[in-house]
Amino acid sequence: MGFTNSASAVAIFARDRMANRALDMQKEANVSDIKTMLDAEAGNGVPVKRDFLSRFLEAHKKDPSFIGEDRVLALTVANMFAGSDTTAITLLAVFYYLVKHPQTCRA
C-alpha cells in the first residue's frame, strides 16, 4: 500500500504509534483481550480507553489476512490526514470569527 516504507512524517509517526501500542497491548493482558474491551465499553467493567488505532488493531487480530499490518498503517495514516487539516481549519475559523466578533463570546 506504499506506507510501509514511507519516509513521510505522518507515516513515520503512525508506525511509531503502532509499535508502541503493540508493546502496550502485550504488557496489558486485559487490554489485549477484545471481549474484555467490548464488555468494558458496554459498562460491565472498568472503562478501557479505545481510539481508532486500537480499533484497527482489534480488526487486525480478528482477521489478520484481511486487515494486515500494512492496512492498519494505511487506515491510520488516512485518518491522520483526514482529521488534521479539517480540524485545524475549523478551529482557525472558529477563533477567527470569535476574535473578530468578541461580543458573541459574552453569555
Alpha helices in 1-107 (DSSP H): 9-27, 34-41, 52-62, 69-100
Q: How far is the CB of 14 from ligand HEM (least distance, A)?
A: 12
C-alpha cell at 50: 479505545
Q: How far is the CB of 83 from ligand HEM (least distance, A)?
A: 3
Residues that bind ligand HEM (CB under 6 A): 78-79, 82-83, 86-87, 90
Cα–Cα distance between 83 and 76 in angstroms, integer? 10
Q: How far is the CB of 50 from ligand HEM (least distance, A)?
A: 14
Nearer to ligand HEM, 27 or 66 (CB): 66
